[in-house]
Amino acid sequence: MQKLSRSPAFMGARRSRSPVGFQAAIFGAPHGTPYPGIDNRVHAAAPNAFRQALAEDSAWLEHWDFDLNGPLLGDGKLRLADLGNLPTKPKDGAGNRKRIEAQARKILESGAVPIIFGGDDSVPIPFITAFSKSPPITILQIDAHIDWREERYGERFGFSSTMRRASEQAHVWRIVQAGARGLGSAREREVVAAKQWGAHIFTSLHMHRNGLAEILENIPEDSDCLITFDCDAMDTAEMQAVAHPSPGGLTYSQVTGLIAGVAAKARIAGFAMVEFVPKKDINGAFAYTAARVAANVIGHIARQI
């Protein structure tokens, strides 16, 4: 059984143990699949940090949200649940994957849109797997890294392999990756593998120079799109509470612009937000920024229901 968070429910959500009767449901997964020698506990408090960040704003849901050109939840009829955090464990990769997949499947079977707060970037692997009985999905990955490693330290389900494992799932028919920059996660062989599979990769530099239109052209009309957002996709000026911040990243407006662009032509079928490090967030500003990205997703889901 999942643990209901002691933090307030995420903005506009109702605390619940079941997704039944709701149209979208949030849950936390503090741990994913660990690597030997890499401590995944640095992300464990992230789901609650996001909830706490918007606790005060939740009293103002009827106010105009200029990101969404109206109140956050639209007409206010979206039934949104916060299911709390799963009882994941730092070193139990296999068990964590089962818990995450089972919870996401339960939400999908109830007819709701699943939203997951991680945890490191291995968390989306079982989350994506849960969509295997749903219509085929497009994945939009917003990330500084492309995550196409076959394995790392002998582990095939860690945070460097997220899109590689997604590409092996029959229900994933398109992968669009936005925000790649700098070093990490990919050698030449991984870039070649991603392109041979058919992944559409756009660097952050490309986005700065050319805007968002070309990326959004690769999101099919009327498709189901699962968005994964790694907080390190954002530039260090706006997001420093990540394991490996690097310059040249995306702005908040570019990230929310991508989300709005997806919502304008496709259905947001799910959302995963990962890789936030609360201990690096001195005054809560970075948790607030990340939480506002999630709020934008929820706002667009409210307008699609």
Per DSSP, 44 falls in state T
User: Residue 15 pLDDT more than 80?
Assistant: yes
Q: Which amino acid is at 221?
A: E
User: Residue 3 pLDDT more than 60?
Assistant: no
pLDDT at 119: 96
**What confidence tens digit (pLDDT) does each residue in 232-246 have?**
999 999 999 999 999
For residue 119, cis peptide bond before it (omega within 30 degrees of 0):
yes
Q: What is the mean pLDDT of the chain?
A: 96
**What confidence tens digit (pLDDT) does each residue in 44-54 have?**
999 999 999 99
Measured distance CA(245)–CA(256) in Å, rounded: 19
User: Residue 4 pLDDT more than 60?
Assistant: no
Per-residue confidence band for 183, with pLDDT thresholds at 50, 70 and 90: confident
Task: Give the strand order in the sheet containing 24-29.
Answer: 14-15, 80-85, 24-29, 113-118, 267-274, 224-230, 137-142, 172-180, 200-203
User: Residue 249 pLDDT more than 50?
Assistant: yes
Which residue in this structure is represented by tokens 């005054």?
Answer: 283
Per-residue confidence band for 1, with pLDDT thresholds at 50, 70 and 90: very low
Strands 200-203 and 267-274: unpaired
Per-domain residue ranges for the chain? 14-304
pLDDT at 185: 73
**What confidence tens digit (pLDDT) does each residue in 90-140 have?**
999 999 999 999 999 999 999 999 999 999 999 999 999 999 999 999 999
Q: b/e string for 53-65 if b means 16 or more Cβ within 10 A?
A: bbeebbeeeeeeb
Instruction: Tell me the whole-structure pTM to 2 decimals.
Output: 0.97
Q: Report, as an integer, the average pLDDT of 158-180.
A: 98
CATH number of 14-304: 3.40.800.10
**What confidence tens digit (pLDDT) does each residue in 255-300 have?**
999 999 999 999 999 999 999 999 999 999 999 999 999 999 999 9
Which among 262, 296, 273, 259 has a CA at the least distance from the CA of 124?
A: 273
